[in-house]
Amino acid sequence: MTLLRVALTASHQGDPSQTLRTEITMTQKPTRKASARLLLPVVKREPEKTKITASLPQDVHADLLAYQRAYQEMNGTEISLDFIIEQVLIQHLKRDKAFQTWKTTGGRLQG
């Protein structure tokens, strides 16, 4: 915490009987260092899951493990690889405008 104390003394035309003394004290909370944030939300609780099996290239698996470690370090919460994969897929599917259009039209292509 930073503390700043300033005292001001002023007199009217050098007359000590008309001296004004003011003291200002200011405190400042320590500033938080801006930290990098990952795209995945902080875990509150995991909903029920449907189990699937998938095969991934080894480099993708290594990146998922690295992301899991980064998430734990940055958020102080451990998460499963299943949760990371789920969130990445959710984000991708939400951002895919063509898929969202297709989905809202009942699976019919428009063109």
Ordered DSSP codes for 9-74: EEEETTEEEEEEEEEEEEEEPPPPPP----SSPPPS-PPP---------HHHHHHHHHHHHHHHHH
Q: Is residue 40 part of a domain?
A: no
**Whole-prediction pTM:** 0.54
| pLDDT score of 18 | 62
Give the chain's domain count: 1
Q: Is residue 100 part of a domain?
A: yes
Separation between Cα atoms, residue 17 and residue 20, nearest integer Å:
9
Give per-residue pLDDT as tens, 35-76: 678 887 777 776 777 888 999 999 999 999 999 999 999 999
Secondary structure letter of residue 85 according to DSSP: H
Q: Is residue 29 part of a domain?
A: no
Q: Is residue 71 part of a domain?
A: yes
Residue 79: name the closest of 111, 28, 87 by CA.
Answer: 87
| pLDDT score of 49 | 75
Mean pLDDT, the chain, rounded, equals 79
Q: Is residue 35 part of a domain?
A: no
Domain span holding position 69: 58-104
